[in-house]
Amino acid sequence: MAGTTTDLERQLSELLEQERFEPPEEFRANALIKDLSVHEEAAKDPVAWWRRQADALHWFTEPQQTLNDENPPFFKWFEDGTINASYNCLDRHVEAGLGDRVAFHWRGEEGEERDITYAWLLEQTQRAANALKDHGVGTGDVVGIFLPMIPEVVVAMLACARIGAPHNVVFGGFSAESVKERMEFSDAKALITVDGARRKGKVAGVKAAVDAVGMPVQTTFVVRHTGLDDTPMGEGDVWWDEALAAADAECPAEPLPAEHPLYILYSSGSTAKPKGIQHATGGYLTQVAWTHKYVFDLKPESDVYWCSADVGWVTGHSYIVYGPLLNGATSVMYEGAPDYPHKGIWWELCERYGATIFYTAPTAIRACMKWGVEHVEKFDRSKLRLLGTVGEPINPKAWLWYWKVVGGGNCPVVDTWWQTETGAIMITTLPGAQAMKPGKAGTPLPGIDAAVLDEQTGEELPRDTQGLLALRRPWPGMLRTLAGDDDRYVQTYWSKWDERTYLVGDAAKQDEDGYISVIGRVDDVLNVSGHRMSTAEIESAIVSHPKVAEAAVIGAIDEDTGHSVAAFVTLEGSLEGTDDLVLEIREHVAMRIGKLARPKRIIWADDLPKTRSGKIMRRLLKDIAEGRELGDVTTLRDPDVMAQLQGKVKERAEDEA
Ligand code: WTA
């Protein structure tokens, strides 16, 4: 055990000196992959190697073709094969006699428990698929899903996949207006939502909120969860349980072309309009299954796996739903917040369900560090054997704390780099085969070509030089396009250098061993507690407030959350910025986008620093918000603006002090 806080502090600062951590002996001895031969094998012929990994899935028609790269950047994988995601996640295991295996130990916020078996999921999914069909949803129709962390969200996703209706899941933290926008953009036919959602002991009506903005869909299915008895049900509204009860119990999985879209997931880009990232089926499942098995060293018979993300993000899609179910894993699914009902709840649940693998975000680890070791050490985590992180760079101190305090120094920590667009993990260390380096994600996985390139020339940079992260070879789990916007797809990702080199949008560097450290975004995308948001989207929400004239949003570096949202706001006419108005604007953003996008700080500005062509100089605003010396201001239309703003921020800082 780590002992007292001061002991721990001392141990951690000593460990900060250590660059490499070898996999623990016992772990390596039992690992699925113990050396680098798999990297070597894949490097010989990556495309052929991926074709072999596709054999881990059940295909109705075996693909004869692997990669079609004739029309870059519209790449296709396994295109003549037919497959079904729901069949691979469920039927296959039940037919193999594993129906009674627990897929999810579900835990409700108030301590309710449900063990969800593979057989139950299959039974419910078939009924749900028929219920969708009964209400006019067919292959190719988009279905929105706006649900909390309850087993029904898995059923809903797999029911869509079963009939080839791409799902469009919206994270529960988004506002009803955001849901509406995403339903409109994707032309959704139906929406699956819930009566109400619980958050830290409170219940909020979800169906009522959805109704208040109106949804552009034909049918709204409503899951009964919190049992609110004033849930409004109108024409076109159907209770989920009643629809399932009325539906036929049998619904064979539809054989679908491998390139059939499995889902759309909206994510933030550098403009106010979110991007509908569209994934296909066969390639995505291949890469998700492989990475889930080998990055987490999964032994489905004995492991209990827990990814603490929300299904509303890509991490939830790939590593709560598809990856674990494809591999027949037993997972933990928790409805509540990490500090509800108490700050040790995660570790209490690790003990209770015997979790062996735990996957979370650096921001959550930093929160746990703040809360203190006592909340962790109160519970038995001796079954844990592997830890993982995702979503943002992890600072070495948080990495070490995770490794030492949570893992007791016995568990490898995999720092996994990937994106909504990549669909699956791309860069990390294979835990039984590669040493870990805190703060560096690791090397490209087998079959993946990631490199750090010069922005101008596109040439690979020498080691230890910062540049742009790029992916130079198509990979099976890659996005296929942006829903309804092929041009934006090409422009955003494939136009920096050439149409075969994917621009990630992150700055990175690679060390002498080929380990990549990802430094952060180079575009106007913020990462707040691992949640991806766009400055333009938040600005547009703020500006839609009637009293606001103009706004510039930046992500200020924040010790706890990675970035925090800071907004420079100019008001209409001669209005004065007041504390009440701060609250009003924050509330307005919560309504337009969701609570997660609310600015932490609002700075009133008479004017914003702009170039002569009228472009807001965000770099300067960042300098101000983070209290740095100002960079070059000579390109500004009116350099005085900066001095004024700086004065304001200082005043505020003194006020706060
Ligand atoms: C960042 C989440 C450093 C990165 C799966 C990326 C990371 C963006 C890491 C994607 C990591 C994710 N180290 N940065 N291990 N993982 N990121 O689409 O900036 O929500 O481009 O996907 O998160 O965020 P997204």
Ligand 1 touching residue 418 (CB < 6 A) = yes
SS3 554: strand
Q: Per residue, what are the HEC states of 420-469?
A: CCCCCCCEECCCCCCCEECCECEEECCCCCEEEECCCCCCECCCCCCEEE
pLDDT in tens, 450-508: 999 999 999 999 999 999 999 999 999 999 999 999 999 999 999 999 999 999 999 99
pLDDT of residue 477: 98
pLDDT of residue 649: 76
Ligand 1 touching residue 417 (CB < 6 A) = yes
pLDDT in tens, 301-313: 999 999 999 999 9
Ligand 1 touching residue 223 (CB < 6 A) = no
- Ligand 1, residues 392, 421, 516: which to mutate, most atoms within 8 A of Cβ? 392
Task: Give the position, in ligand 1's atom list, of the atom nearest the Cα of 313.
Answer: 20
Tokens in use for 258?
């491998």
Quote the pTM value: 0.93
Q: How far is the CA of 533 from the centre of ligand 1 (A)?
A: 12
Distance CA 447, CA 431 (A): 17
Q: How far is the CA of 361 from the centre of ligand 1 (A)?
A: 10
What value does the mean pLDDT take over residues 430-441?
Answer: 97
β-partners of residue 503 are 470
Do 407 and 379 contact (CB within 8 A), yes or no?
A: no
Task: Give the position, in ligand 1's atom list, of the atom nearest the Cα of 419.
Answer: 22
Distance CA 220, CA 233 (A): 9
Task: Give the position, in ligand 1's atom list, of the atom nearest the Cα of 427.
Answer: 15
pLDDT in tens, 189-239: 999 999 999 999 999 999 999 999 999 999 999 999 999 889 999 999 999
pLDDT in tens, 334-389: 999 999 999 999 999 999 999 999 999 999 999 999 999 999 999 999 999 999 99
Query: In Å, how far are 78, 524, 539, 637 from 610, measured between CA atoms?
Result: 49, 16, 15, 6
| Domains defined along the chain, listed by start | 121-254 (3.40.50.980), 529-656 (3.30.300.30)
Ligand 1 touching residue 268 (CB < 6 A) = no
The percent of residues in the chain predicted with pLDDT above 70, rounded, is 98
What value does the mean pLDDT take over residues 621-625?
Answer: 86
pLDDT in tens, 31-60: 999 999 999 999 999 999 999 999 999 999
Ligand 1 touching residue 393 (CB < 6 A) = yes
> pLDDT at residue 645 above 90?
no
SS3 566: strand
Task: Give the position, in ligand 1's atom list, of the atom nearest the Cα of 520.
Answer: 19
pLDDT in tens, 63-105: 999 999 999 999 999 999 999 999 999 999 999 999 999 999 9
SS3 512: coil
DSSP state for residue 597 in the 8-state scheme: G
Place 654 in a pLDDT band, splitting at 50, 70 and 90: low
- Ligand 1, residues 308, 414, 493, 532: which to mutate, most atoms within 8 A of Cβ? 532
> pLDDT at residue 3 above 60?
no
> pLDDT at residue 590 above 70?
yes
DSSP state for residue 634 in the 8-state scheme: T
> pLDDT at residue 619 above 90?
no
| 25 Cβ neighbours under 8 A, 6+ residues apart | none
Average pLDDT, the chain: 94
Ligand 1 touching residue 415 (CB < 6 A) = yes
> pLDDT at residue 245 above 70?
yes
Q: What are the backbone dihedrals phi and psi of residue 547, each rounded to the nearest 5 degrees, phi first?
A: -90, -5
Q: How far is the CA of 496 from the centre of ligand 1 (A)?
A: 20
Do 593 and 553 contact (CB within 8 A), yes or no?
A: no
Distance CA 82, CA 256 (A): 5
Distance CA 580, CA 434 (A): 54
Distance CA 325, CA 90 (A): 7
Atom 10, ligand 1: residue with shortest CA distance: 419
pLDDT in tens, 388-407: 999 999 999 999 999 999 99
Do 270 and 523 contact (CB within 8 A), yes or no?
A: yes
Pairing of strands 531-534, 525-528: antiparallel
> pLDDT at residue 653 above 70?
no
SS3 33: coil
